[in-house]
Amino acid sequence: MREKSEIDSELSRLKKAESDFSTYRSMLELGELENDVSTIFEMEQSILDFEKDLKIYQLECFFSGEADNNSCYLEVHSGAGGTEAQDWAQMLLRMYSRWAENHKYGIEVLEIGVGEEAGIKSASIKIIGSKAYGWLKGESGIHRLVRISPFDSNSRRHTSFASISVYPVIDNSIHIEINEKDLRIDTYRASGAGGQHVNKTDSAIRITHIPTGIVVQCQSDRSQHRNRTIAYEMLKSRLYELELRKREENRPQISKNEIGWGYQIRSYVMQPYQLVKDLRTGYEKGNVDAVLNGDIDDFLRSTISAKICDIQKEDK
């Protein structure tokens, strides 16, 4: 039934696109026939917007991964550098949250480790919506920020690092076996705002999968039982994503610029010039403020397009 629902949704989307295009073309032809400048201008703008939507739809047609249509978890971890790195981690969390909001995705905050002075040490959120994982899975890696630090009284330029990890939300149709003996479960008090009960009881849960070293945390709920359930689901998703990456690594190497864990994928420079550059595709953008406000669609598209081209070359 889920598969049927997804196919019905795609067919409806395609039919609407065909209908919209036919309408725009007819209105444009009518405007040109009657020399109606306002109608011509309006239809030209509508066609430009339609072209953008069509490019997105075209890329999504290539989402062929097992979990590309799923929602996803996104984790942010600050690197070395104390307050500066923690502030950068919070900026990245805001960037992806704004992107999700702009695309009408739901957001659920699962865990936030607040920094001592500012920013965050780590955070986990769930981005809820169709194809969220397909769009964001290429964002895993190290993100670098270069700017004049607002925390430096001497106004010196600092370089900060933070890591992003993206993995899919899985459902009951995907079975992941976990041996309880392989788990270490710790409880701790939730940090940050959340009410007296959250902060005064050990309701937060941390699960460590000893064989792989994977650690997941959840403190979103007042109930320790509920947090344990969410953390367990996150662990299953992480293990599933690990298996997907192993399968990918078993394929012949398709590009020397393939994303690897701990590999710097994007650079954000605010001073002495303004530039965001993806180090895998070479795509760059000068409006850093817009990017940090969630305008990352062009970077996502360039990453997905490059991946598609590499796979097609390899298949040939």
Query: For residue 192, what pLDDT is reported?
Result: 58
**Taking the model in full, what pTM does it have?**
0.78
Average pLDDT over residues 170-190: 82
Residues β-bridged to residue 122: 77, 113
Q: Are residues 53 and 78 in the same domain?
A: no
Q: Please give the Cα distance from 111 to 73 (Å, whole number).
A: 11
pLDDT over 60 at 279, yes or no: yes
Residue 162, exposed/middle/buried by CB under 10 A (0-12, 13-18, 19+)?
Answer: buried
- Looking at the structure, tell me whether residues 127 and 205 fall in a common domain: no
The answer to whether residues 167 and 241 touch, using CB atoms and an 8 Å cutoff, is yes
CA angle 297, 137, 62 (to 5 degrees): 75
What pLDDT sits at residue 253?
36
- 259 and 162 in a single domain? The answer is yes
Q: Which residues of 183-212 are buried (b: 16+ CB within 10 A; e: fewer)?
A: eeeeeeebbeebeeebeeeebbbbbbbeee
Strand partners, 78: 162
User: Domain check: are 161 and 228 in the same one?
Assistant: no
Are 81 and 158 contacting, i.e. CB atoms less than 8 angstroms apart? yes
Give residue-wise pLDDT tens across range 26-76. Answer: 999 999 998 889 989 999 999 998 988 888 888 888 787 778 888 999 999
CATH (domain of 113): 3.30.70.1660
Determine which of 75-89, 90-104, 219-233, 246-260 has the lowest per-residue pLDDT on average. Answer: 246-260
Residue 259 pLDDT greater than 50, yes or no: no
In a domain, 157, yes or no: yes
Residues 82, 158, single domain; the answer is: yes
Same-domain check for residues 201 and 287: no
**What domain range is 52 assigned to?**
2-60
| Nearest alpha-carbon partner for 121 in 87, 95, 94, 86 | 86
Answer whether residue 42 is part of any domain.
yes
Residues 20, 21, 24, 26, Cα dihedral to 10°: -110
The answer to whether residues 233 and 262 belong to one domain is no
What pLDDT, on a 0 to 100 scale, did the predictor assign at position 263? 67
Residue scoring higher pLDDT (289 or 225): 289
* Most confident stretch, 79-88, 89-98, 174-183: 89-98
The four Cα atoms 134, 135, 140, 145 give a dihedral, to 10 degrees, of 180
Q: What is the mean pLDDT of residues 181-195?
A: 74
Reading the block at residue 125, the tokens are 């959120």
Q: What is the mean pLDDT of residues 121-149?
A: 91
The reported pLDDT for the residue numbered 197 is: 42
Shared domain for 262 and 242, answered yes or no, is: no
C-alpha to C-alpha distance for 197 and 204, rounded to whole angstroms: 11
261-276 pLDDT tens trace: 346 899 999 988 899 9
88-92, 196-200, 269-273, range with the lowest pLDDT:
196-200
| Nearest to 54, CA basis, from 14, 104, 102, 105 | 14
Q: What is the pLDDT, as a whole number, of residue 102? A: 92
Largest CA distance in the chain: 77
User: Residue 9: its pLDDT value, please?
Assistant: 82
More confident residue, 26 or 174: 26
Single out the residue in 248, 281, 298 at which a domain terminates: 248
Phi, psi for 180 (deg, rounded to 5): -60, -30
Separation between Cα atoms, residue 308 and residue 267, nearest integer Å: 23
End of a domain among 248, 267, 296?
A: 248
